[in-house]
Structure 1
């Protein structure tokens, strides 16, 4: 790894999730501010989308359009650069808020939901992953998944990895040619670290934001942690991009739960060159 100390790119946000790099911009959901922002490589805000029903996961389709989770009404939205349209409505398939997702090379989307009333502090329950086809049709991809969060597709499209936050682990599935999932297994037991957003690097390693410890860790299949960045607060999500293609962007909340509940703008995005 090259640079060891992350640098600040931009701050003053409420809660930044799901960064994605596309066409020279870093797209991020500011969940509690109900906005999706695009930042340039200097951290300047150059675009803003209003998502009143709480944006969450983001992804890029093969045509370059941006897919946005609208969490509270359980829809996937699509922004083509000029207008936002509905891509898929999952409200008949789950009553829980949608969370994060991964998109494969054929534009199939694997999306998770909370699985229980997180806001009301109900006891956690397992839920399903759904697969959304390119035409917007919806199927169950996997059952008995525990609070599926950040997701990524690796191994040339053959493997889906999903963070199970409250189980403190990352699981993996094989993906067949039709998009079906099988061979569920543990990719990494994180020994109490609760992974939120994740991304994959070119060598098959997974970077994960560890919400409860403030760390971003790089973990390989089997669970060995190879690299760590540490923040004073909560580590949220990450992506690799930048003009070099090897810059790790990391979102963090630099405060405590009381600060978050008070709506203090303590979320920021940092970067490190790998």
Structure 2
């Protein structure tokens, strides 16, 4: 049986939170329904708005110069917010998106961006799409493989294996990341139970993936740790909403920040959600 862990509440009163990123001692998050990016004190949960994104922010990431990349969902743009708050369009993703642009992982200036592939809120049938790759210069292409709702992503601590949640395929996939940032050798890394729809993910220093089991409101709603091959070793059950995303942070990189949203698919379609930030100590450290 997986090891059970408990959580503590850090912050509430948000809309639909996504894409937590711990950076320079602070926690950054997107709030879909309040159309803003916020930054939070990871100790007491106090927060402030740092950017308005009228067409809904999603994935976040940082470049070496300190600027932030922000996925703008509905208009399929990748924005670049400079340290002084000036925001420009870093890349236009429209030609490569099926449905809304979504979560993102930035590695050495390269952005890897998922997209819904279909109209989730409108109840359309899921269909395959592609993971989008944006170079540091803003050039856009797609990675190989027809993927089903590419979502959270992370670089494995081996520095070469790029991991991807496929929400509606119920699996974690993998690529080999090349020195120029391109991805090759698409494959399955871990098959998950049919009742698990992996959303945002983070990786610990032992190579385990912690993922949120999204779109689930029942007894399996929660966060899970899976190893290559599909063995689930740990769980953090959440009784009051979707488990959406997680990231490690804190001075020793050993606090797991958990993003949950109390919503349903009908409520999500209407922009209704109550977002929470929670924390857990799971006896491991983050890899990145």
TM over 0.5: yes
Matching residue within 236, 241, 244 for 2:249:
241
Structure-2 separation of matches of 1:3 and 1:225: 11
**1:34-92 CA deviation, whole Å, 9 max, x = no partner?**
11110012100134311101111111222332211101111111222322221111123
Instruction: Go from structure 1 to structure 2 and tell me whether the alpha carbon gap of 1:3 and 1:138 turns closer, same or farther (over 3 Å shift).
Output: same
Tell me the C-alpha RMSD between the 2 structures: 1.9
Structure-1 separation of matches of 2:272 and 2:23: 28
More strand by share: 1
Asked if 1:27 corresponds to 2:28, the answer is yes
Instruction: Measure how far apart 1:11 and its partner are.
Output: 0.3
Structure-2 separation of matches of 1:206 and 1:52: 32
Asked if 1:16 corresponds to 2:17, the answer is yes
Counting only pairs closer than 5 Å after superposition, residues 121-270 of structure 1 correspond to structure 2 as 121-192=123-194, 193-211=196-214, 212=216, 213-232=220-239, 233-257=241-265, 260=268, 264=272, 266-270=274-278
Tell me the equivalent position of 1:115. Answer: 117
**1:122-169 CA deviation, whole Å, 9 max, x = no partner?**
211101112111010112222311110111111343111111101111
Count of matched residue pairs: 272
Structure 2 unmatched ranges of 5 or more: 283-288
Structure-2 separation of matches of 1:54 and 1:210: 22
Structure-1 separation of matches of 2:271 and 2:125: 25
Instruction: Go from structure 1 to structure 2 and tell me whether the alpha carbon gap of 1:46 and 1:119 turns closer, same or farther (over 3 Å shift).
Output: closer
Structure-2 separation of matches of 1:255 and 1:222: 31
TM-score (norm 1): 0.93
- State whether residues 153 and 200 of structure 2, in contact with CA within 8 Å, keep that contact through their aligned partners in structure 1: yes
Counting only pairs closer than 5 Å after superposition, residues 45-64 of structure 1 correspond to structure 2 as 45-64=47-66
Tell me the equivalent position of 1:67. Answer: 69
TM-score (norm 2): 0.88
**1:183-233 CA deviation, whole Å, 9 max, x = no partner?**
222111111200011111112111100012321001111111111001112
Instruction: Measure how far apart 1:255 and its partner are.
Output: 4.8
User: Helix, strand or coil: the match of 2:144?
Assistant: strand
User: Helix, strand or coil: the match of 2:129?
Assistant: strand
Tell me the equivalent position of 1:97. Answer: 100
Instruction: Go from structure 1 to structure 2 and tell me whether the alpha carbon gap of 1:170 and 1:48 turns closer, same or farther (over 3 Å shift).
Output: same
